[in-house]
Amino acid sequence: MDFMDISKKRHTVRKYDRRPVEKEKIEKILEAGRWAPTAVNAQPQRVLVLDTQENLEKVRAFCTFGWQKKYVELAKESDTEGHEKIVIYYGAPVVMVVCYDTEECWIHPESGKASGATDATIVATHMMMEAASIGLGSAWISYFDEEKARELLEIPKHWKPVCMLYVGYPAEDYMPNDKLSGKRKELGETCFYNTVPEAM
Ligand SMILES: Cc1cc2nc3c(=O)[nH]c(=O)nc-3n(C[C@H](O)[C@H](O)[C@H](O)COP(=O)(O)O)c2cc1C
């Protein structure tokens, strides 16, 4: 599959099969992240792979929130049965917490801006694309309680979590979320040659 095909094939999977993911496939995803570019090649990313029942229960705990109407589209695939909670876990068998080391990332000398979040984002994107290329589903998750995650997973103070990637085989009855997936603005609405249009 060429890159354009993978780009179009990848979409967010919000319901996973219980089947475990083969170790070689997990390693491939990590390897794809390893080759991502980072500022001054500092490689500040730190990826915590969670695949034990105990750790996945922790993920459930720090991705459980009170019911919020604005997340109703995401909640469609969430475990909301029997309680007024939205659980953004989707039954993923593997969860990768993508962090960066605040002491190892490049800091822009003039602006003082740290590049770690950008680096970790690129790493996570490489990993999602690799997952798609080897037939796995993934979901980028930002909506979690960072402090609770830090505490439950014992994430060091100098690591900053950027996102989680849920990874696994899509559930048999999984359907892409028709409101959120598969729709993109026309190129002309987001990309411009040489001049910013006045209407912007
Ligand atoms: C920065 C970022 C944060 C996201 N956070 C969440 C999230 O917390 N929960 C979730 O279910 N999906 C999350 N997503 C997935 C987006 O909703 C999804 O990528 C978008 O709707 C486009 O759909 P597609 O990935 O199927 O193409 C996130 C995606 C990005 C890039």
Q: For residue range 159-193, what is the model confidence (pLDDT) as tens digits?
A: 999 999 999 999 999 988 888 888 999 999 999 99
Tokens, residue 108: 């822009």
Straight-line distance from the first to the last Cα atom of the chain, in angstroms, rounded to the nearest whole number: 36
Which residue intervals of 102-191 are DSSP H helices? Answer: 116-133, 146-153, 187-190
Ligand 1 centre to CA of 180 (Å) is 8
Instruction: Report how far ligand 1's centroid is from the alpha carbon of 16 (Å).
Output: 16
Judge whether 49 and 30 are in contact, CB under 8 Å.
Answer: yes
**Angle of CA points 106, 112, 114, to nearest 5°:** 40
Q: How far is the CA of 103 from the centre of ligand 1 (A)?
A: 28
CA 192 to chain centre: 28
Place of tokens 């989680």: 164
Protein fold of 3-190: NADH Oxidase (3.40.109)
Question: How far apart, in whole angstroms, are the C-alpha atoms of residue 103 and residue 18?
Answer: 37
The domain segmentation of the chain, as residue ranges, is: 3-190
Per residue in 8-56, pLDDT tens? 999 999 999 999 999 999 999 999 999 999 999 999 999 999 999 999 9
What is the Å distance from ligand 1's center to 89 Cα? 13
Q: For residues 143-148, give the mean pLDDT.
A: 96
Predicted TM-score (pTM) of this structure: 0.95
Side chain identity at residue 160, one-letter code: K
Pair of tokens at residue 191 = 């990309």
- φ, ψ of residue 129 in degrees (nearest 5): -70, -40
- Which of 10, 12, 60, 86, when mutated, tests ligand 1's pocket best, judged by the most ligand atoms within 8 Å of its CB? 12
Ligand 1 pocket mutation pick from 126, 141, 177 by most atoms within 8 angstroms of CB: 141
